[in-house]
Amino acid sequence: MNWRHTAAALLALGFAGGCSVVGLSPEQEEEAYLLRVAQAEAPWLSAMSRFDNTLSGNYSTRTAFFVAINGAGLEEGARDSLEAAAELTPPDTLADDHGHWLALRGAATELAPELTQAAAVGDVLNVLAVRRGFGKAEAEFLLSIGREFCIHLDAVDPAEDCPPDDSLPGGGYGTAAYEALREYAIRIGPLFLTSAGLDQGQRTQYLASVQPEIEELLLGTGDRLGELDPPTEFATDHEALLRYFDDQYAVAALITDANAIGDDATILELYAESARLFDDLQNTLSDAVRPIVNPAF
């Protein structure tokens, strides 16, 4: 069943406007509710898209950069999405997920003014710190909700961001490895969001703030995978994953050391090495393991 089409029909009957619609099946109630979740998310997602585009853009002056940050409208987007979310009553089957969603919307609304304040005083490092705060709140949310809620969110890829379905290969191993890699990818992504507006000193400070978390995630994910016992058909892939996380952790530690002494040339070389390790793993993994590793690779 196409939930978007069904829910749209229900809304056209007056469900979204608060009118009573009787005789809805539990499935129809979920479909209508999930459509309204997507509608409520829209103001925030639009503002966040503008904000992230601003971070990656080039500006002639620092002032122009911070004006663009304010122009993204994150405070308004956060507030509008929270207000829309608070108006919804979920079906019982999605009540827990709804609570996690409200917590996310509340966290974004609390963080957004900090971004405005950072832009007002020209503090690009704090702008990035607030962006990481948004990312961490989103990570906690994605890792707490069920698949049914997750797959209906417009900003996610169900094959990467959501809990797996029954089609995942590898039995218990496949599920455990997928979840380890999903958590790794969700948590590490915000740590790589940076800005072209950083000068050398700020880049040093930025790396010093994120590298400990990057190293912890690489080490922790490798350890988590190392506790798993893969089926014979995935043994070679599993060993490749373990080597990858060991090697990436070693590179991350060297980046931390190079950053401590301001050795930008070495940092660039190590970034290239990290990219090579990623490419080599992509060329090594079998087609059979792809659904399991899809969240991170």
pLDDT digits (tens, 9 = 90+) for 93-151: 999 999 999 999 999 999 999 999 999 999 999 999 999 999 999 999 999 999 999 99
Output the furthest CA–CA distance in the chain (Å, rounded): 68
Give the integer Cα–Cα distance in Å for 130 and 134: 6
Determine the 3-state secondary structure of 18 from DSSP. coil
Tell me the pLDDT of the chain averaged across its residues. 91
What Cα–Cα distance (Å) separates residue 93 from each residue in 33, 97, 100, 267?
Answer: 11, 9, 13, 49
| Tokens (6 digits) for 159 | 């094959």
> How do residues 170-214 score in pLDDT, each as one tens digit?
999 999 999 999 999 999 999 998 877 788 899 999 999 999 999
What is the sign, positive or negative, of the torsion defined by CA atoms of 214, 69, 182, 285? negative
> How do residues 228-269 score in pLDDT, each as one tens digit?
999 999 999 999 999 999 999 999 999 999 999 999 999 999
